[in-house]
Amino acid sequence: MKNVPSLFALQSPATVLLGFLTAVTPALAQNTPPAQKPFSTTAPQKTDPARSPTAGYRLASNDTVNIQVFQEDELQTTARIGKDGSIPFPLVGTISLGGRTVPEAASAVSQALKDYLVHPQVALRIVDYSKKRFTVLGQVNRPGTFDLPDESPLSLLEGIGMAGGYSRIANPSKVIVKRRGLGGEQVFHLNAKQMAKGSAVPSFQILPGDTVVVEESLF
């Protein structure tokens, strides 16, 4: 009886190799780690400035600030703002920071350093706040002057609540906030009634030195 070649023997080398790869590939796939996601080049989302404690805040006497200049370690300074609104600073003598926001103060320091450095890059942050107060007048139950929280923001509704809430003849839809800055006095006409309803009217943050006036209802 003639020897009958086996099925494996009848297959060509290429066919055998293909069969081997077909059998091995699933096993390799199970042990192969998942492909890593490509590195994201999307910039991180920025926090809402309106929620930041320092958003819109203007520096005042007794605030303590820390100033750093890029690649100029010897210029790093931590100083308390004096009654005249200025601080001592290396190279330039004194710089007036009172009444400025943090970005404005950093820009003022950078501008003062341009006589000594090429393209100075300045970072400024508030290390400690002086005691800040605001005033609530008009139709509230306890008008007067109140302390602001050291760092956490205070909304208009919270400030009115600290003054005992509205009086019987108050008109919550007509609230005035007076604020002083470098450009003079700003006056904001606000509808606290709509704010309390959680409508599309945005919340309003009270800043140090603000005067809140709740007007009287005419009816």
Q: Catalogue all structural domains in the chain, each as residue range(s) with its CATH number.
A: 50-128 (3.30.1950.10), 133-216 (3.10.560.10)
Confidence of residue 48 (pLDDT cuts 50, 70, 90): very low
Q: Are strands 211-216 and 133-138 parallel, antiparallel or unpaired?
A: parallel
Of residues 83 and 170, more confidence is placed in 170
Cα diameter, the chain: 121
Tell me how far apart the alpha carbons of residues 148 and 206 are, in angstroms, rounded to a whole number.
Answer: 9
Instruction: Give the pTM.
Output: 0.48
Q: How far apart are CA 208 and CA 54, in angstroms?
A: 11
User: What does the pLDDT read at residue 200?
Assistant: 73
pLDDT at 133 exceeding the cut of 90: no
Q: Is the pLDDT of residue 29 over 70?
A: no
Whole-number pLDDT of residue 54: 55
Higher pLDDT, 110 or 182: 110
At residue 183, the pLDDT reads 67
Task: Identify which has the larger pLDDT, 28 or 173.
Answer: 173
pLDDT band at 188 (very low <50, low <70, confident <90, very high): very high
The CA–CA distances, whole Å, from 218 to 19, 168, 176 equal: 93, 12, 16
Summarize pLDDT for 2-12 with one digit per residue, the tens.
454 544 444 55
Where helices occur in the chain by DSSP H, the ranges are 7-10, 13-31, 102-113, 156-162, 192-196
Q: Which amino acid, 42?
A: T
SS3 185: strand
Burial group, residue 139, by CB count within 10 angstroms (0-12, 13-18, 19+): buried
Nearest-angstrom CA–CA distance, 182 and 185:
8
Task: Give CA–CA dist 96/158, Å, rounded.
Answer: 32
In this predicted structure, the answer to whether residue 17 has a pLDDT above a threshold of 80 is: no
Q: Check: CB of residue 123 under 8 Å from CB of residue 105.
A: no
